[in-house]
Amino acid sequence: MKKFSKILVGLLVVVCIVEGFFLYRAYAIPSTTLQTARKINRIEQIIDKYYKGSVKKSELEDCTYKGLVAGLGDVYSTYYSEDDFKELEQSTSGVYYGVGIYLTQDIKTGIITVVKPVKGSPADGSGLKKGDILTKVGNYKLKTSDALDDIVKKIKGAEGTKVKLTFTRNQTSKTYTFTRQSIENPTVETKMLQDKVGYLQITEFDEVTVSQFRSGLKSLKKQGAKKLIIDLRDNPGGLLTSVVDIAGQILPKGTIVYTEDKNGNKKYYKDTKNEQLDMPLCVLVNGNSASAAEILSGAIKDDKAGTLVGETTFGKGIVQGFFEVGDGSYVKLTYSSYYTPAGHNIHKKGIKQWRHIVVETRRGLAPSQKVGNLAVSSFFLIHPFPTHKGHLHVKLLVKDGHVSQFAFFKGAHCLIDAQLLGGIDRCHADDIGEG
């Protein structure tokens, strides 16, 4: 069997799990599996004779193959038909043909709304706003039972073709006609904060992420950034090769991550370039930072190249590869575990971070000063921020009952502060589609 070159370490969701077994036809097979084949054929006969609804043989067989892999009990292993695999390839490349709209679906109502248009896309400048409700794709009227992925498929299409989308805002409907074009998924966003602090968010690790990271970092340096915040919160992972390349732009030469398969064979992924980040680094993570995001944060932590702030990460320390079946379809299987440079496997454990608390004080804090029963051992000043009561808003990072660092953040000028304090709702990757 041929193993596909892309190695995924992303937090992928299995959307169809069906009980079943592999459908064997016209093969020389052992007697044990022959009994299984006969049982499958018997079930097919019963379906043909009694099932009232329509039957699509191809879908029935695909779900049977999915069922075989699902029997492993591993949510990260699954079967991909030829069409499913082509869609997966496109999603991990970070490039697709569509109109460039981020969409989200309310899990309770099923309503699909606009998050934002992609910059430079056909939808950019159309006047669409966050919260606009998608009601029709062409002549198809959306139902609340429609899955977001299915609607996104309807929006995507061949380059140069047109699609009509109808949205409702304040009970007023408007139809837009867009010409589909190549859309590069913006996986990296940057902005400058106060005190020469550069902010760089990575939403996932696709093929395009490497060049976007390099460009984003270069832009921040040109704007005068002397400190860097990398935001990996809600990053579900992605391609192993991409995260290794990005880590190589941050860390000194050495091991970034290594894997070990079922036979104990190890493979080391090392940085061999003469590149290294030349400024203080802070990495933001949370419970949805998974896989490739954990590889990057774990390597930074082990190399002491930066400070990790936030929640304990998701804890996905296993790697999946794609194995060709022979007819264009693939099986994705968990085939190895990965380890941080210091030899830690974080599967089902995650990477533990500093706990953070917030206090208000009318005066600054100095090293070794007490805050309640907590001792402040050091601090990192970003910006003083008076609250509406005239107090200073102080963030403290706590470990083992001692405050080791704290930072001042300036209100609306710092997205990081609001999010870490729970002031902004999180947007889960699984709830977002791109059309």
Name the H helices within 5-108. 31-50, 57-70, 82-93
Nearest to 177 by CA among 161, 191, 193, 197: 161
Catalytic residue from among 81, 291, 297, 336: 291
Catalytic residue from among 6, 156, 316, 395: 316
**Residue 308, C-beta contacts closer than 8 angstroms, at least 6 positions apart:** 282, 283, 285, 297, 300, 301, 351, 353, 354
Q: Sign (positive/negative) of CA torsion 235, 236, 238, 241?
A: positive
291 assigned to active site: yes
Catalytic residue from among 206, 302, 303, 417: 302
Q: Own/partner pairs for 137-145, CB < 8 Å, 24+ apart? A: 137/163, 137/164, 137/165, 137/166, 138/163, 138/164, 142/112, 143/110, 144/109, 144/110, 144/111, 145/110
Instruction: Copy the structure tokens of residue 104.
Output: 């989200």
316 assigned to active site: yes
CB of 101 closer than 8 Å to CB of 131: no
CB of 309 closer than 8 Å to CB of 353: yes
- Parallel, antiparallel, or unpaired for β 392-399 and 374-376? unpaired
- Positions annotated as catalytic residues are 291, 302, 316
